[in-house]
Structures are given as structure tokens and as C-alpha cells.
């Protein structure tokens, strides 16, 4: 395919301040969710100025408000920043860390080092976009400019329109338009040389940011599972392409299959590698294999879901908090803190749900099929608000991503863009029997059920007493009885939905 998808467009380039840029002494590179040196257009643009580059990361929890990084995200950020700082040091540069109001910090540092231009990645989170406007305005007043570069999507999202000139509200035509635009741009190698200023501005010490948990230290499972940073991202990509691209179409739905998916999501969220790098590495690895080609095509669709989520959030900034379909504002969600806590802790009594929730707690990540099942169970069988689940995922996922998380939760709830209808209720036992047929996933994460035969593993409450005794299980003691009768839960959800649905059962 012709390489037409990308083009290195730069945004927010106010055009003013070029006089000042000419008399600049340095360039400022403001890292955010693009914590990498490879294929980083902002970094290239900064290096291309041939001026000394100052590298900055600002932790601005105030601007992020409710959506500041959660616990698992902060753990990841610590590792990622420390890896980026080491990579920069190896090139004779330094990462400057500052904490506080970016609208003050960025313009002040630009003034201190005499930078006419500040380069950064183009965000899609509403709070970051607002921040960019404020920073750009503050810089402009001083004759400087902010230049934002696409770093996190394969497509220029502002250039994706339907043939009739409207925005896409449905994934499939969006994906078709993206595919028709050709291959994403080939990745850029890191600039060969980075000119750094002599005396460096002052920096906070990363350890003083207290991003890592201490009392209690709950991050043992995260440390054992992940290597944040560019090297870890590359290693994960290689492992996936060496082993699992062939057959990805099936393995991506099998939560028990080790490495059945790429596990690149936290690396992609923090921008330790770009979707373009992933796309090209996967594409180049197809060779002549029909199986790998089929795997690649499914994998590409997932990368496009990532783009689509960012696109949807850009055009629906209220998405993380409010249902897109207005009727869902009237949904009579239940309030049940005990049920919510049981779900969070993986004690619902439904094994596949508990397996997913415990995987999330232990390693900060959950397989996609399990995310769909656990989310559906919360929203439908427990009839608890999707925002509660979204918040819990936000705090516990290392890949917590405002766009993907909110699009996915609203997809499950039926309240979003191109969602599955609310009345389609996943039966967790049927899902479990289909996708975790031999119980590998359940046995791994819910070890107290390990001895139950496959036949009863997915719904232990249906097992005869003798089978439970032989497996060493007393329900209600060693493992909970189900929080809700599955058919009662389903009917309760459907009844609540009927009360908000119009006569044709749609809720637009
Ligand atoms: P792979 O299968 O290897 O896919 C490759 C990449 O494609 C992923 O890394 C991801 O960037 C993208 N991708 C895959 N599936 C999806 C999807 N359904 N939607 C959008 N992009 C996708 N993903 C996040 O990155 N952050 C989140 O906060 C998040 N929250 C979710 C919440 C719910 C309720 C659900 C159902 C899904 C959520 N997802 C989220 C989407 C998906 O589950 C993860 O992206 C995927 O499991 C990550 O694993 P992977 O990297 O091995 O994916």
C-alpha cells in the first residue's frame, strides 16, 4: 500500500513568534505520553532546529483533576521516566522534572533557556488539550510558540472524515477509511546527535515524587510482570511477533493463553513505542505466511480501535463522565457498596469474573475478553454504574487510558458510540465455557477452585455436594456463593433498561 496514512503534520503552530525562534538559544521538548526517543516527531522537530535541546516532563496533577494517573499508572510512570532519563543520559542529555502548574512551568522554562519553540506530542485527552491551549497562549504572549506533533495514533485524527464530510460515529467505516489511506508513516530513528545546553536547568528528583507505593507496597506483581520503558516495549513487541502473531485471531480471545495478545497496551499508552512502529514491525514480520497475514489483519483492527477511541474522545470530551446516549442519564443504577467491593476484590462467586478481577489487582492488567466479561457483569448483572467500574480500572490498570477506557466502558454499558446494545447481556458462564474451556485462566487466578473438574469449574454452585467436597470446597466458606442469581440479575437489568428505552428499544 502507498504510504499515505500519516504525513508529519504539526498542530497548534500559531505561526507567531518566528522572529523570536530565529534568535533562540535553545529548544524545549516537553514530553508527556510519548516517553521515547525512537519515532518521536516532537523530538525530531526539536533536534532539527540544531539548537541545544532541553528535555522536560511536568507532573501536573492539578490540571488532570479527577483523571490524574491512578495508582498503577503512577507506578508505571516512575519506571518509564527513569528509563527515559537513563536513555537521555547515555546521549549526554538530561531529563528535567518539574511538578506543578504546566501553564506556568513551561513558559517560564522556555524563557529561562531562551527557547523560541516548545515541541510536544499532540494529546487527545480533553484536559491536556485545554492545557495546550493555555500554554500556547502564554508562550505566544512572549513571542514563543508551541508546536504539537502527532505521536500516539497511526492516523491524523483531524483528517478522518466520511465521504459526506461528517465525522464517523461507527468503527467499521472509520477503520475502512483509515485502511484506504494507506500504510502509516515509516518510523523515524532517534536523531543521531542531540545538542544539549551547557548548564542544565534545575530538576526535581524522581524519587521525591513518591509515585511508587510504599505502605503497603502492593506493586510486587507489577514488578514481576512488566519492564516499563522503551527497551521493555521493544522486548515485548519482539516476543509477541516471534511467537503469537500467527493465530492471534483466536488467541486474543483466550484469556488463559500465555502471550495470546501482545501486552503492549501500557507501552502504547505511555508512548514508549508508537503505533506506527508496532504496525510496521508486525507488517514486516508477515513474510509469506498466510497465518501471519490473517493475524496481522486482526491485530491491525485492534490498533485501529485504539485510534478510534482517541477519535471518539476528541469529539466527545464529556465521554469519561457522561453517557453519550442521553437516555442513560435516567438509568436507575443501584447503589451497593458491598457488591462493588466484592467485584473489585474478585469475590463475586462467579469464577471467570473473579479470575479477571484478581489478575487486574495482581499485575495491573487484564486480558480483553476478561475485561468485557467483568465489565458486563458489573453493569448488567449487578446493575452498578459503569462509571464505578471505569474508576476502578483507571486506578488499577497500568494501561489506564482515558480514551480507550471510557469508550470501552460505554461500549459495554450500551450508552456510548457504536456500543453493543444494552439488552445484549453476556452470560459469564457461557463465556467462560467458550473462551476458557479447560479452565487454565480460572485455575491460575482462583487457585482455591483448582481441584474442581472442568465440568463444574465455571459454575461451582451447580456442582453436586460430593464433587465440591472432593475438591475441598465449601461454598460460602472457601469460595463465595454467587453475588446474584445470573438469570435474576439479567432480568433486573433488562427491566431497568426497558424503563429508559424508547418504544423501538433504542436509546438515542
Ligand atoms: P492486543 O490484543 O495485543 O492489541 C494491540 C493493541 O491494540 C493494544 O495494546 C491496544 O492499544 C489496542 N487495542 C486492543 N484492543 C482494543 C480495544 N478493544 N479498544 C481499543 N484499543 C484496543 N485498553 C487500554 O489500552 N487502556 C484501557 O484503559 C482500557 N480499558 C478497557 C476497559 C474495558 C471495560 C474494556 C472491555 C477494554 C479496555 N481496553 C483498554 C481495551 C483492551 O482490553 C486492551 O487494549 C487490551 O486488552 C490490551 O492488551 P494487549 O496490549 O495485549 O492487546
**Ligand 1 center to 269 CA (angstroms):** 10
Taking 80 as the threshold, does the pLDDT of residue 478 lie above it? yes
Residue from 226, 305, 343, 394 carrying the catalytic annotation: 305
How much is the average pLDDT of 259-273? 97
Q: What is the pLDDT of residue 11?
A: 62
Residue from 9, 38, 140, 302 carrying the catalytic annotation: 302
Tell me the angle at which helices 71-90 and 230-243 cross, rounded to the nearest 10 degrees. 100
For the CA of 264, the closest atom of ligand 1 is 51
Q: What is the pLDDT of residue 489?
A: 98
**Ligand 1 center to 199 CA (angstroms):** 42
**pLDDT tier at 9, thresholds 50, 70, 90:** low
Q: Is 10 helix (H, G, I), strand (E, B) or coil?
A: strand
Taking 50 as the threshold, does the pLDDT of residue 508 lie above it? no
**pLDDT tier at 195, thresholds 50, 70, 90:** confident
Taking 60 as the threshold, does the pLDDT of residue 76 lie above it? yes
Q: Does the annotation mark 333 as catalytic? A: yes
For the CA of 409, the closest atom of ligand 1 is 34
CA 434/CA 432 separation, integer angstroms? 5
Instruction: Please give the C-alpha separations between residue 507 and each of 28, 154, 286, 387, in angstroms, as whole numbers.
Output: 48, 32, 43, 18
Q: How buried is 409 (Cβ within 10 angstroms: 0-12 exposed, 13-18 middle, 19+ buried)?
A: buried
**pLDDT tier at 503, thresholds 50, 70, 90:** low
Q: Does the annotation mark 12 as catalytic? A: no
CA 47/CA 7 separation, integer angstroms? 18
Q: 371 CB less than 6 Å from ligand 1?
A: yes
Place of cell 523570536: 20
**Ligand 1 center to 308 CA (angstroms):** 12
Q: What is the pLDDT of residue 443?
A: 98
Percent of the chain having pLDDT more than 90?
A: 85
Q: 396 CB less than 6 Å from ligand 1?
A: no
**Ligand 1 center to 368 CA (angstroms):** 6
Q: Is 345 helix (H, G, I), strand (E, B) or coil?
A: helix
Where are the alpha helices (H) located in 36-170, listed in sequence order?
Answer: 41-48, 61-64, 71-90, 102-113, 126-141
Range with top average pLDDT, 14-23, 195-204, 398-407:
398-407
Of 496, 285, 301, 508, residue with least CA distance to 416: 508
What 8-state DSSP symbol labels residue 381?
I
Q: What is the pLDDT of residue 196?
A: 84
Q: Does the annotation mark 279 as catalytic? A: no
Q: Which residue minimizes the CA distance to atom 17 of ligand 1?
A: 305
Encode 437-451 in three state secondary structure: CCCHHHHHHCHHHCC
Q: 274 CB less than 6 Å from ligand 1?
A: no
Taking 50 as the threshold, does the pLDDT of residue 415 lie above it? yes
Q: What is the mean pLDDT of the chain?
A: 93
Residue-wise pLDDT for 294-314, tens only, equals 999 999 999 999 999 999 999
Instruction: Please give the C-alpha separations between residue 334 and each of 331, 339, 507, in angstroms, as whole numbers.
Output: 9, 10, 20
Taking 50 as the threshold, does the pLDDT of residue 2 lie above it? no
Taking 80 as the threshold, does the pLDDT of residue 265 lie above it? yes
How much is the average pLDDT of 370-395? 98
Place of cell 474451556: 437
**pLDDT tier at 417, thresholds 50, 70, 90:** confident
Q: 305 CB less than 6 Å from ligand 1?
A: yes
Q: 311 CB less than 6 Å from ligand 1?
A: no
Q: Which residues pair with 481 in a beta bridge?
A: none
Q: 269 CB less than 6 Å from ligand 1?
A: yes
Q: What is the pLDDT of residue 4?
A: 46
Taking 50 as the threshold, does the pLDDT of residue 19 lie above it? no
**pLDDT tier at 359, thresholds 50, 70, 90:** very high
Q: Does the annotation mark 409 as catalytic? A: yes
**Ligand 1 center to 399 CA (angstroms):** 8
Taking 80 as the threshold, does the pLDDT of residue 213 lie above it? yes
Amino acid at each position: 500500500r502507498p504510504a499515505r496514512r500519516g504525513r508529519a503534520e504539526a498542530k497548534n503552530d500559531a505561526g507567531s513568534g518566528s522572529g523570536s525562534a530565529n534568535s533562540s538559544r535553545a529548544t524545549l521538548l516537553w514530553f508527556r505520553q510519548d516517553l521515547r526517543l525512537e519515532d518521536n516527531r516532537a523530538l525530531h522537530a526539536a533536534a532539527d532546529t540544531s539548537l541545544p535541546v532541553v528535555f522536560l516532563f511536568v507532573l501536573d496533577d492539578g490540571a488532570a483533576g479527577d483523571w490524574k494517573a491512578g495508582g498503577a499508572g503512577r507506578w508505571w510512570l516512575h519506571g518509564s521516566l527513569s528509563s527515559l532519563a537513563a536513555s537521555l543520559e547515555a546521549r549526554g542529555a538530561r531529563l528535567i522534572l518539574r511538578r506543578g502548574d504546566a501553564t506556568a512551568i513551561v513558559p517560564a522554562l522556555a524563557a529561562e533557556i531562551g527557547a523560541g519553540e516548545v515541541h510536544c506530542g499532540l494529546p487527545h485527552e480533553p484536559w491536556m488539550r485545554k492545557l495546550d491551549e493555555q500554554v500556547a497562549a502564554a508562550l505566544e504572549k512572549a513571542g514563543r510558540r508551541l508546536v504539537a506533533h502527532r505521536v500516539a495514533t497511526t492516523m491524523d485524527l483531524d483528517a478522518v472524515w466520511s465521504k459526506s464530510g461528517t465525522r464517523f460515529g461507527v468503527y467499521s467505516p472509520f477503520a475502512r477509511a483509515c485502511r484506504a489511506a494507506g500504510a502509516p508513516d515509516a518510523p523515524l530513528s532517534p536523531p543521531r546527535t542531540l545538542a544539549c545546553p551547557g548548564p542544565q536547568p534545575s530538576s526535581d528528583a524522581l524519587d521525591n515524587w513518591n509515585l511508587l507505593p510504599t505502605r503497603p507496597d502492593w506493586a510486587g506483581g507489577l514488578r514481576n510482570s512488566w519492564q516499563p520503558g522503551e527497551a521493555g516495549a521493544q522486548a515485548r513487541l519482539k516476543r509477541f511477533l516471534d511467537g503469537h502473531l500467527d493465530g492471534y485471531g483466536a488467541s486474543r480471545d483466550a484469556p488463559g493463553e500465555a502471550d495470546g495478545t501482545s501486552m503492549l497496551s501500557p507501552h502504547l499508552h505511555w508512548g514508549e513505542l508508537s503505533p506506527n512502529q508496532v504496525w510496521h514491525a508486525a507488517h514486516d514480520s508477515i513474510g509469506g505466511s498466510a497465518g501471519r497475514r490473517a493475524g496481522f489483519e486482526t491485530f491491525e483492527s485492534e490498533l485501529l480501535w485504539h485510534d478510534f477511541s482517541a477519535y471518539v474522545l476528541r469529539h466527545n470530551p464529556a465521554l469519561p463522565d457522561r453517557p453519550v446516549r442521553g437516555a442513560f442519564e435516567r438509568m436507575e443504577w443501584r447503589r451497593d457498596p458491598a457488591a462493588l467491593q466484592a467485584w473489585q476484590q474478585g469475590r463475586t462467586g462467579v469464577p471467570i469474573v473473579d479470575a479477571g478481577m484478581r489478575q487486574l489487582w495482581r499485575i495491573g492488567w487484564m486480558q480483553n475478553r476478561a475485561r468485557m466479561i467483568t465489565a458486563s457483569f458489573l453493569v448488567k448483572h449487578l446493575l452498578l454504574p459503569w462509571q464505578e467500574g471505569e474508576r476502578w480500572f483507571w486506578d488499577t490498570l497500568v494501561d489506564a487510558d482515558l480514551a480507550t477506557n471510557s469508550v470501552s466502558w460505554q461500549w459495554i454499558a450500551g450508552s456510548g458510540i457504536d456500543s453493543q446494545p444494552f439488552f445484549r447481556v453476556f452470560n459469564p458462564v457461557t463465556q467462560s465455557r467458550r473462551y476458557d474451556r479447560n479452565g487454565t485462566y480460572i485455575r491460575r487466578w482462583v487457585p482455591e477452585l483448582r481441584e474442581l473438574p472442568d465440568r463444574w469449574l465455571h459454575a461451582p454452585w451447580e456442582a453436586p455436594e460430593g464433587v465440591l467436597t472432593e475438591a475441598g470446597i465449601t461454598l460460602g466458606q472457601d469460595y463465595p456463593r454467587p453475588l446474584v442469581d445470573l438469570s435474576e440479575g439479567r432480568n433486573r437489568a433488562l427491566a431497568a433498561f426497558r424503563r429508559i428505552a424508547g418504544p423501538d428499544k433504542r436509546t438515542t
